[in-house]
Amino acid sequence: MATHTATHKLRRVFVWELPVRFYHWLNALVIVALCATGYLIGSPPAFLSNAEASDQYLFGWIRFIHFVAAYLFFFNFLFRLYWGFVGNKYADWKNFIPTNRKFWSEMWEVIKIDIFLQKDKEHLSVGHNALAGFIYFLTFLAFLVQCITGFGLYASMSDWWFADMFVWVGGIFGGDFGLRNWHHAAMWFFIIFAMVHVYLVFYHDYVEGRGEISSMGGGWKFIEEEVFDKEKKKATH
């Protein structure tokens, strides 16, 4: 029963440019593919078949998909790093690396408001909030680990100089055994990240009503006129 509700005029802000959205969805797709095929590589199910081995290439295809997705993942990742230097302000690398006190204090605020759920408070951020940005920075490190261990394993299966550049990796992880264990364990980071990430997108959309979920589709978020003015003042100061 709504006694009195304020009505807001909303401003449309273009937050995620097309390359960022493209990166995001390609990344999501290949990570799902990599986790699924990676899991199957680690623990293949019992495929029952009467066909001759020479007529089948099932496991070969699973691995092939993993490797194709791996290349896409890697180059997409590189592309995103590049976009962090040429993209708009919400794509900028400074969103991810704590370079000043403000970054840390905003992080603390987000923790209080969104994680420990301070009563009826919201934290406004048009792009990434500081905590999210920092966590994406950690995921980038995880991407790096996964690419390095992955290509380290792949080096012995490939003749391409690019993959062969990674032969040194085995040495620091204690051979392919170590590489494989770390590569496998790191998969769980991706799975748990994805769970929390998707949940939080819903959370923000639900609590704040600013189009969080759809922003990765069209690129827009919607903020209240008053909020817009406040942000503008902050920005011009």
Partner 1 sequence: MTTKPTRRPTYYEEIRQKGYSRRDFMKFCSIIGAYMGLEATGVAQVANALQKTSRVPVIWLHFQECTCCSESFIRSSHPIVADILLDKISLDYTETLMAASGHQAEAAKAKTMKDYHGEYILCVEGSVPTKDDGVYCCIGGKSAIQVLEEAAEGAKAIIAWGSCACNGCVQAAHPNPTTATPIHKLVHGKPLIKVPGCPPIGEVMAGVIIHMITFGRLPELDRVGRPKAFYSKRVHDTCYRRPFYDAGLFVETFDDENAQKGYCLYKVGCKGPMTYNACGVTKWNGGTSYPIQSGHGCFGCSEENFWDNGPIYRQMANFPGFGIESNADEIGMVAAGATAVGIAAHAIATNLRKNKLINNVIAEGKDAEKEL
φ/ψ of 160, rounded to 5, equals -75, 135
Q: CB-wise, 60 or 86, nearer to partner 1?
A: 60
**Residue 124 lies near partner 1 (rule: CB under 8 A):** no
Name the binder of 192 from partner 1, ligand HEM, none, CB < 5-8 A by kind.
Answer: partner 1
Closest approach of ligand HEM to the CB of residue 163, in Å: 7
**Residue 171 lies near partner 1 (rule: CB under 8 A):** yes
Map tokens 């408070």 to a residue.
121
Cα distance between the two ends of the chain? 41
Q: Two tokens at 158?
A: 């490939």
**Residue 42 lies near ligand HEM (rule: CB under 6 A):** yes
Q: Two tokens at 233?
A: 């003042």
Closest approach of ligand HEM to the CB of residue 171, in Å: 16
CA atoms of 214 and 218, how far apart (whole Å): 7
In the list 14, 25, 56, 214, the residue contacting partner 1 (rule: CB under 8 A) is 56
In the list 22, 39, 103, 193, the residue contacting ligand HEM (rule: CB under 6 A) is 39
Name the binder of 146 from partner 1, ligand HEM, none, CB < 5-8 A by kind.
Answer: ligand HEM
φ/ψ of 226, rounded to 5, equals -65, -45
CA atoms of 89 and 52, how far apart (whole Å): 57
Q: Are 153 and 179 in contact (CB under 8 A)?
A: yes
C-alpha dihedral sign at 92, 93, 95, 98: negative
**Residue in 82, 80, 86, 179 with CA at minimum distance from that of residue 139:** 80
**Residue 57 lies near partner 1 (rule: CB under 8 A):** yes
Q: Residue 11 in 3-state DSSP?
A: strand
If one counts every other C-beta atom within 10 angstroms of the C-beta of residue 6, the result is 6
**Residue 221 lies near ligand HEM (rule: CB under 6 A):** no
Closest approach of partner 1 to the CB of residue 237, in Å: 27
List residues binding ligand HEM (CB under 6 A): 31, 34-35, 38-39, 41-42, 63, 66-67, 70, 73-74, 146-147, 150-151, 153-154, 180, 183-184, 187, 190
List residues binding partner 1 (CB under 8 A): 2, 5-8, 39, 42-44, 46-47, 49, 53-60, 62, 115, 117-120, 122, 156, 167-168, 170-171, 174-181, 184-185, 187-188, 191-192, 195-196, 199, 203, 206-209
